């Protein structure tokens, strides 16, 4: 990069205030119509940009990164998850990678709790039936759901978002259990009233609700596969706001269809944006279009973090949200 403004290519439409600030600070190429980049467009962007600002929809694999131009120095991701970026290939290429953690924690936890309540109380299903003219007045046994208060929640992944979900669930009088790569501090467990389970299989057979909040890594791919889903009790409800392929989607759909699981609330999908066809015809699953961080406040804050990371890098400092490959 020269002394002139760095050339930043943004792959998707960012909130207007973020784009306005980027225009002030950088020479920026925006994507005003928000059409996802093709692989060829990504390759072209990597060959021209000093800094690329991608999102989850941009798969930056080793082959693409190998073809990046020598001028490319940084990938400033808009989002927390970086499973769409080959971190090892980026590191080998000498590229700095950053993400946007922290600012989307509370909104993602809100969606997880909303899906939990919706799936349990059949709100979306009730909305569909009311619009279809099926509501004929109050009935003592029509559209009965399941209580949330007093039930047990198993949180898979007790990081920022998992803890935020647990705080909300505790407010609903739920009994909190969790499985994590490592046990959180005693202070956090005490505050949340949370019970640690080293054995995920054992926890799954104990809880009424499951909230998936762990990152997508090679070890969490199909973490909830057909075998583990079968460990859940038939009245259990599964919520996923993390990554779709942490759950074996076809197995989940089959179990929901034949009553081996009560319900599910999904904000992410294994082959996103495609949704398992069987899920689309089921009343006992709530399907949200990846809304986890989808508020004006959070998406703007994510964009501001992208800018902060770029600015820190340009000033010769380590970006505050730099991501490096796992050792």
Catalytic residue among 19, 29, 272, 304: 272
Which residues have CB under 8 Å from 72's CB, separation 6+? 46, 49, 50, 51, 52, 93, 95
The pairing of beta strand 194-196 with beta strand 175-179: parallel
Annotation says 177 is catalytic: no
Annotation says 272 is catalytic: yes
Catalytic residue among 243, 248, 249, 276: 243
Distance CA 233, CA 35 (A): 42
Q: Which of 74, 18, 65, 45 is nearest to 316 (CA)?
A: 74
Catalytic residue among 146, 206, 290, 322: 290
CA angle 117–118–122, rounded 5-degree value: 120
Q: Would you call 36 helix, strand, or coil by DSSP?
A: coil
Annotation says 317 is catalytic: no
| Complete edge-to-edge strand list for the sheet that includes strand 175-179 | 194-196, 175-179, 152-156, 209-212, 237-240, 263-266, 285-287
Beta bridge partners, 265, equal: 239, 286
Which residues are known to be catalytic?
A: 243, 272, 290
């Amino acid at each position: 990069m020269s002394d002139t403004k760095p050339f930043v290519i943004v792959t998707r439409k960012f909130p207007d205030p973020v784009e306005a600030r980027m225009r002030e600070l950088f020479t920026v190429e925006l994507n005003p119509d928000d059409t996802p980049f093709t692989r060829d467009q990504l390759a072209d962007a990597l060959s021209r940009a000093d800094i690329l600002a991608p999102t989850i929809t941009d798969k930056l694999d080793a082959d693409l990164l190998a073809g990046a131009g020598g001028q490319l120095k940084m990938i400033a991701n808009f989002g927390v998850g970086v499973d769409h970026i080959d971190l090892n290939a980026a590191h080998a290429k000498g590229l700095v990678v950053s993400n946007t953690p922290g600012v989307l924690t509370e909104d993602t936890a809100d969606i997880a709790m909303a899906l939990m309540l919706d799936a349990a109380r059949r709100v979306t299903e009730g909305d569909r039936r009311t619009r279809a003219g099926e509501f004929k007045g109050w009935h003592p046994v029509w559209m009965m759901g399941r209580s949330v208060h007093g039930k047990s929640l198993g949180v898979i992944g007790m990081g920022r978002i998992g803890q935020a979900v647990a705080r909300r669930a505790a407010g609903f009088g739920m009994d909190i259990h969790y499985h994590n790569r490592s046990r959180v501090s005693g202070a956090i467990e005490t505050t949340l009233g949370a019970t640690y389970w080293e054995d995920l299989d054992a926890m799954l057979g104990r809880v009424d609700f499951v909230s998936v909040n762990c990152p997508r890594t090679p070890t969490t791919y199909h973490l909830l596969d057909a075998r583990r889903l079968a460990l859940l009790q038939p009245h259990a409800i599964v919520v996923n706001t993390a990554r779709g392929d942490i759950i074996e989607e076809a197995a989940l759909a089959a179990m929901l269809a034949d009553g081996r699981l009560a319900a599910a609330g999904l904000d992410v999908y294994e082959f996103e944006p495609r949704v398992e066809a069987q899920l689309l015809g089921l009343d006992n699953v709530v399907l949200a279009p990846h809304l986890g961080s989808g508020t004006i406040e959070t998406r703007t804050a994510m964009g501001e973090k992208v800018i902060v990371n770029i600015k820190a890098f340009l000033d010769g400092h380590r970006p505050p949200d730099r991501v490096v490959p796992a050792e």
